[in-house]
Amino acid sequence: RNYLNRYRGDNKLGHESYFGILSTPALNIGIKKAAAKAALQNPRDFSAHSLRKTLETWLMALGVDGLALTAHFGHDMKTAAQHYVSPDVFSWDEKKRMRLIIGDLYEK
């Protein structure tokens, strides 16, 4: 929100100004290009869905309430159990890195 307000001010835009929203395919193209530019392995494997799935898996591994997560991500517990929730296979160091990457997002 602060970013948008700053952007509006920097560009002399009003509250009624239009902000285009990317389609999912356009977002995926941007994600793949950014992954390639960052020299990440297999940039074609990155997508909005894979980022969303990774975030949900990490949040579960960090102990965020599963019911709250499934409600937020818009699916039921059965779907979460089948596709998003994996056994706790992360080491302490991996969880530490997750916390650094996502910051305090999981505490909110």
CB 53 within 8 A of CB 25: no
In a shared domain, residues 41 and 91? no
Q: Cα(79)–Cα(69) distance, rounded to whole angstroms?
A: 12
In a shared domain, residues 58 and 30? no
**Stronger pLDDT, 67 or 50, i.e. the higher one:** 50
Tell whether 14 and 4 lie within a shared domain: yes
Provide mean pLDDT across the span 91-102: 92
Residues 37 and 61 in one domain: no
Mark whether 52 and 39 lie in a shared domain: no
37 and 59 fall within a common domain: no
**Residue 24 shares a structural domain with residue 60:** no
Tens-digit pLDDT profile for residues 3-45:
777 888 888 887 777 667 788 999 999 999 999 999 999 999 9
Sequence-distant (6+) residues with CB within 8 A of 13 are 7
Residue-number span of the structural domain to which 84 is assigned: 47-108
pTM (2 d.p.):
0.70
Q: Are residues 40 and 51 in the same domain?
A: no
Q: In this model, does residue 106 exceed pLDDT 80?
A: no
Judge if 30 and 57 occupy the same domain: no
Domain count for the chain: 2
Same domain, 77 and 37: no
d(CA 14, CA 34): 30
